[in-house]
Structure 1
Amino acid sequence: MDVAKQHFTELYERHHGDVWRYVARRIVASDVGDVVAEVFLVAWRRFGDVPSGSALPWLYGVARLVLANEARGRRRWQELTLRVAAEPDRLVMVDHADGVAGQRDVVVAFGRLSGGDQEILRLVAWERLTAAQAAAVLGQSRAAFAMRLLRARRRLRAQLGATSDVVEPRPSAAPSMSNRGG
Structure 2
Amino acid sequence: MDAAKEQFTELYERHHAEVWRYVARRIVASDVGDVVAEVFLVAWRRLADVPAGSPLPWLYGVARLVLANEARGRRRWQELTVRVAAEAGHVIVMDHADAVVSQRDAAVAFNRLSPGDREILRLVAWEWLTPVEAAAVLGQSRATFAMRLMRARRRLRRHLGMASDAAGRPATPSMSNRNG
TM, length-normalised to structure 2:
0.50
Shift of residue 51, structure 1, vs aligned partner: 0.8
Report what 2:35 is aligned to.
35
**Structure 2 match to 1:80:** 80
Aligned to 1:7: 7
Q: How many residues align?
A: 94
The CA RMSD measured in Å over matched residues stands at 1.2
Equivalent residues in 2 for 1:37-116 (5 A)?
Answer: 37-87=37-87, 90-91=88-89, 93=91, 99-100=92-93
Cα deviation digits, residues 48-103 of structure 1 (max 9, x gap): 0001111000000000000001100100000001111122xx2254xxxxx318xx
Q: Aligned in 2, Cα 1:14/1:92: closer, same or farther, shift over 3 Å?
A: closer
- Distance (whole Å) between structure 1 residues aligned to residue 85 and residue 11 of structure 2: 46
Q: Which runs of 4+ in 1 moved over 3 A?
A: none
Amino acid in structure 2 at the alignment position of 1:5:
K
Question: Take 1:35 and 1:72, find their aligned partners in 2: how far apart are those partners?
Answer: 13
Structure 2 unmatched runs, 5+: 95-180
Structure 2: how far apart are the matches of 1:11 and 1:80? 38
Q: Helix, strand or coil for the counterpart of 2:93?
A: helix
Deviation at 1:4, TM superposition (A): 0.8
Quick one: distance in 2 between partners of 1:76 and 1:44?
A: 28
Q: How does 1:154-165 map to 2 (within 5 A)?
A: none
Amino acid at match of 2:11: L
> Could you list the per-position Cα deviations for residues 97-124 of structure 1 after superposition, in whole angstroms to 9, with x for gaps in the alignment?
xx318xxxxxxxxxxxxxxxxxxxxxxx
Q: Deviations over 1:20-43 (max 9, x none)?
A: 000000001111000000000000
More relative contact order, 1 or 2 (CA 8 Å, 6+ apart): 1
Mapped partners of 2:86, 2:32: distance in 1:
32
Q: How does 1:140-151 map to 2 (within 5 A)?
A: none
Report the identity percentage: 83
- Residues of 1 paired with 2:85 and 2:3: CA distance? 53
